[in-house]
Amino acid sequence: MIMVFGSLQRVAPIPLVVFTGGEPTLFLREVLATLQHILENSDTHSRIVTNASWATSLTAARGILRSLKEAGLGELNYSVDDFHQAYVPLTHIGYAVEAALEFEIPVLLAHKSYPGSRSSRATYEALLRREIPKLEDLLPEEYGKHPLTISSGNTLPIGRGAEKVNPLGWVPPEVTEDRWRGPCNEVLKEIVIAPEGRLSPCCGLVDRSIPYFYAGSVLEQDLLELLEIANKSVLYNWLALGGPSSIMDYIISQDPSIPFLGKYVQNCQICNEIFTDARKTEVALGGLEAMAGTLSIQRCLYEAQRSLVIEKWQEQDVK
């Protein structure tokens, strides 16, 4: 992790490093060493996303959080919902929040709901005996004023568990097509390294066994070379400029008999639908050559627009 951070630092300022999972505290020693390195060598902010399974008592929670605070950790996200609380008792969340607030580490409770979900913001407000502001209701300049916030999102029906549910029933009525159509806002923007070292296009909501979704391993190749591969990848550019809905439209245009769900919680679900289905993937990958020219032009136009934005900012600075 320190090596990867060093590679990036040589070429660009890094505003934020997020340790997420799986469960990053399973590699606590490595996380602490990396945090310490970041603290001593940069102004980079840091965050850990964890299920708080380690907070078996207030004393245990204080022990872990003291070491994280001393190593320079900036903020915590606790993953909370019915699925996590089936394995991590609510009391652990209580200890983890109390200890974090004692050490003045801001906490976001990252909650996911689904139709019929038992837990909600009220569950955690009752547990912690206080009102918890919703992150989505705050202005960006207000974030720092609240040491404890909660965010809410919808659970994506993907992966092994999704085989047991009707995915269409998990799309809330307020979720309309504009939520999942259009470019992906994450790919080629964030740099995601999977635990075994593979450079991933995004947070990894897509099945991790899909080889062409990864640019290569940072353990075998220099990160900058991998970023170059990612930026030249037609697939990544298609996701970034058209989004998974554009790939879905292409697949249907090539073979209208291929069935799609047609209704989604958000765009990652379409990615998952395409890249976990051999036939859909085959048609999508078969279209890369045909799409390369259009995507190159789109990328050029995007770059042209970017310089206009920069010029506008510079004009404002002069004024």
For 13-77, the DSSP string reads ---EEEE-SS-GGGGHHHHHHHHHHHHHH---EEEEEE--TT-SSHHHHHHHHHHHHHTT--EEE
Residue list 262-301, contact with ligand SF4 (CB under 6 A): 267-268, 271
Residues 203 to 222: which contact ligand SF4 by CB under 6 A?
A: 203, 205-206
Which residues touch 222 (CB under 8 Å, ≥6 apart)?
A: 7
Region from 72-80, 156-164, 181-189, 297-305 binding ligand SF4, contact rule CB under 6 A: 181-189
Q: How far apart are CA 165 and CA 156, in angstroms?
A: 11
**Residue whose CB is less far from ligand SF4, 38 or 158:** 158
| Rounded least distance, CB 277 to ligand SF4, Å | 14
Residue 184 as a binder of ligand SF4 (CB under 6 A): the answer is yes
In the complex, the smallest distance separating the C-beta of residue 216 from ligand SF4, rounded to whole angstroms, is 17
58 vs 285, which CB is nearer to ligand SF4? 285
Task: Name 2's Cβ contacts closer than 8 Å, sequence gap at least 6.
Answer: 33, 34, 37
CA distance 46 to 319: 35
Q: How many residues bind ligand SF4 (CB under 6 A)?
A: 13
Q: Figure out which of the listed residues 23, 98, 102, 186 binds ligand SF4, where binding follows CB under 6 A.
A: 186
Pick 215 or 239: Cβ nearer ligand SF4: 239
**Token digits of residue 168:** 């269409």
Q: Which residues bind ligand SF4 (CB under 6 A)?
A: 184, 186-187, 201-203, 205-206, 239, 244, 267-268, 271
